Amino acid sequence: MQLCDDTGEKVPTGWTVTGASFEVEWPKDPQVASGIRSHFGARRFAYNWALAKVKSDMDAKRTDVSYPSTPWTLEALRKRWNQEKNEVAPWWGDNSKEAYASGIADLVRALSNWSSSKHGRRKGRKVGFPKFKSKRKDRNRVRFTTGTMGFEDDHRTIVLPMIGALRSMENTRRIQRHLAKNNARLLKRTLSQRWGRLFVSCQLAIKTSVVTPPSATMSKKDPRAGVDLGLRSLATIADSNGGITAIPNPAPLRATMNERRRVGRNLIRRIPGSHGHRQAKAKLVKLDRKAVYVRRESIHQLTCYLVDNYSEVKIEDLNIAAMGRSMGRRALRRSVSDAGLGAFKPTLTYKAERAGVKVVVVDRFFPSSQIHHNCTGRLTGAKLAKRLICDTCHVEVDRDENASLNIRDWSVISCGPVGSSALPVPRPFGTGGSCDDGMTHHRKRERKTASNTGGAQRGKNDPRASENEARRKNLEKGASSE
């Protein structure tokens, strides 16, 4: 497989791009610490400088079509930076040239995202034109692609160009052993600040060891599993014998919610800039950080469990973004992002590839929670109810367990004979596929009229009207995938 890293460089076959992140201590030496901040600022400065050039070029082009504007490429903008840097930033020598290059590269990326989104070449949410970065809002970071890329032999020290040695909080051996054996090549390193802490993330290409999955008879793994991701429990796994394993949701935010509420109340009572305000803010940040770590860990444990125990894993193709928007109630939306479901698929995919496990993504419009697995009858119940009742055999089933079984047998259900009472299996939009059921059609029509009147009331020129329309469409998609 040919992989590309961000710079567009081809990674040869047999190599995989992967990353490792280490938290590093803020240097005790105030000079080194201010050097780090200076690098963050330099990246932002170059980004804003390049954006100002691009904007003034566009304005000049509007009045004079023959105006020679700088192309939106890293090379061209960097060349222009090198011509002008003595004038606009006489202090440029204080920071590594990589700091400026990474700012310009980020702008080039943002411009290309905007342009492909505008011309319909990019999926997903519309990307706006890049904005100037403010010190308050921009996340502090700087990327190094060349220069000293060293780790020291104590397995604790990471050396960055111009900045120097930083002490890692974690042993760096796990990537150094690859580098020592010449099995890996460092592509780039990013120094960034989050929650007031410093992190160095390394992107590296590693020689992939060829994994030959053991033959079905030799393998001790269960041949197949269906995974239903959810909010009640993080995942419900149906194995080939019909056994159900429910992985509980750690819901880290919910656990810390009371604590956050208390600290949040404390924070607004403090005077901004005071010692107490800083203290309360630090507490809040600590709770958030904890939540992120617990969430990440639970996704890692789940994906490792799946890859270790099954040779084929079927998962749903959830539209997490739409789910987060559509669930309606704030608490539900919060639990969608709380569960960190978005990280599940990418994490599972790369782990499965390494272990030779097959991942099957079930069609987004497969109504896994509406078909009774035993009799293919239709299930009814409240929108998010845990127990559902079958229309045909009147058996009460657990929504998540039933859905995981349906996902496990996905291809069987969609190809095999379907009972008259069963739902038609929907196909993706655009192929003339049927929708979930009559109810949905009815709801859709209702919503459409509602949105039309809403748009008329607000006036045709209101950009919110079309935005809401688009959101509503997404919402329906989300609801039908649920």
State yes or no: residue 85 binds Zn ion (CB under 5 A).
no
CA distance 399 to 245: 14
Nearer Cβ to Zn ion, position 208 or 421? Answer: 421
Binding range to Zn ion, per CB under 5 A, among 393-401, 414-422, 427-435, 437-445: 393-401
Residues 6+ apart with CB under 8 A from 292: none
Bridge-based pairing of strands 184-194 and 164-167 is unpaired
Binding range to Zn ion, per CB under 5 A, among 91-99, 204-212, 261-269, 364-372: 364-372
**And the tokens for 55?**
């904007």
Please give the backbone phi and psi of residue 373, each rounded to the nearest 5 degrees, phi first. -65, -35
State yes or no: residue 390 binds Zn ion (CB under 5 A).
yes
Binding range to Zn ion, per CB under 5 A, among 12-20, 286-294, 337-345, 391-399: 391-399
State yes or no: residue 257 binds Zn ion (CB under 5 A).
no
Q: Are 157 and 142 in contact (CB under 8 A)?
A: no
State yes or no: residue 389 binds Zn ion (CB under 5 A).
no
CA distance 111 to 129: 7
Tell me, what amino acid is at 258?
N
CA distance 216 to 222: 9
CA distance 443 to 448: 8
State yes or no: residue 375 binds Zn ion (CB under 5 A).
yes
**Cβ-closest residue to Zn ion?**
390
State yes or no: residue 372 binds Zn ion (CB under 5 A).
yes
Binding range to Zn ion, per CB under 5 A, among 57-65, 299-307, 332-340, 370-378: 370-378
Place of tokens 């193709």: 317
State yes or no: residue 175 binds Zn ion (CB under 5 A).
no
Nearest-approach distance from CB 425 to Zn ion, in angstroms: 16
State yes or no: residue 397 binds Zn ion (CB under 5 A).
no
Exactly one of 338, 363, 400, 436 is catalytic; name it.
400
Exactly one of 98, 312, 316, 482 is catalytic; name it.
316
Secondary structure percentages of the chain, helix, strand, coil, to 5? 45, 20, 35
| Side-chain-side CA neighbours of residue 438 (13 Å) | 2
Place of tokens 């990440």: 296
CA distance 168 to 184: 20
CA distance 410 to 313: 11
Nearest-approach distance from CB 422 to Zn ion, in angstroms: 10
Nearer Cβ to Zn ion, position 285 or 375? Answer: 375
State yes or no: residue 32 binds Zn ion (CB under 5 A).
no
State yes or no: residue 377 binds Zn ion (CB under 5 A).
yes
Among 70, 115, 157, 392, binds Zn ion (CB under 5 A): 392
Is 59 known to be catalytic? no
Nearer Cβ to Zn ion, position 112 or 392? Answer: 392
Reference 325, options 113, 125, 459, 116; nearest CA is 125
State yes or no: residue 396 binds Zn ion (CB under 5 A).
no
Among 88, 180, 393, 439, binds Zn ion (CB under 5 A): 393
CA distance 155 to 479: 50
Is 396 known to be catalytic? no
State yes or no: residue 399 binds Zn ion (CB under 5 A).
no
State yes or no: residue 418 binds Zn ion (CB under 5 A).
no
Nearer Cβ to Zn ion, position 253 or 390? Answer: 390
Is 259 known to be catalytic? no
Reference 310, options 242, 232, 197, 225; nearest CA is 225
Q: Which helix (H) or strand (E) holds 199?
A: strand 197-207
Binding range to Zn ion, per CB under 5 A, among 103-111, 348-356, 368-376, 452-460: 368-376
Residues identified as active-site? 228, 316, 400
- List of residues contacting Zn ion (CB under 5 A): 372, 375, 377, 390, 392-393
